[in-house]
Each structure stands twice: as structure tokens, then as C-alpha cells.
Amino acid sequence: MKRSKLIQHLTKNGCVLLREGSRHAIWKNPSNGELTAVPRHSEIKDLMAHKICKDLKIQLP
């Protein structure tokens, strides 16, 4: 999955970007306070995308 598609999915589900690091970006779901790291690769494997959504407790893409 393209990173841009995952970012669109996260923002559509109400998640916000907390900060950008050199290798990861930290995203937060304000409704439940959950945090997760999103790698800064152009392609993110589907299993990783599912884990990110599961960590933030949002629906899977």
C-alpha cells in the first residue's frame, strides 16, 4: 500500500499527526488516545498497514 493512501485513510478516520521523525511519523487517535508509528517508506506492507490501524483502533483499509 502506498504511504499516501494510508495517510489519507488515517486522516479520514480522525487521526492526527503528532510529529515527524527521521524514520517514522507518530500518529494519534484523539478519540481514544492511542498512538502508533508510521514508517516513512513510500510502500508500506499490508500487514504493517493493518497493524497501524489496529493500534489506532480504526477500521482496516
Residue 17, pLDDT score: 98
Parse the chain into domains and list their residue ranges. Answer: 3-56
For the chain, what percent of residues have pLDDT higher than 70? Answer: 100
pLDDT by residue, tens only, the chain of 61 residues? 999 999 999 999 999 999 999 999 999 999 999 999 999 999 999 999 999 999 999 999 8
Fold of 3-56: Metal Transport, Frataxin; Chain A (3.30.920)
Q: What is the pLDDT of residue 32?
A: 96
Residue 56 pLDDT: 97
Q: Which grid coordinates belong to 5?
A: 493512501
Question: Which letter, b or e, does each residue of 36-48 get, where b requires 16 or more Cβ atoms within 10 Å of its Cβ?
Answer: bebbeeeebeeee
Q: Which residue has the cell 483499509?
A: 61
- pLDDT for the residue numbered 61: 87
- Which residues lie below 8 Å from residue 36, measured CB to CB, with a gap of 6+? 26, 27, 51, 52, 55, 56
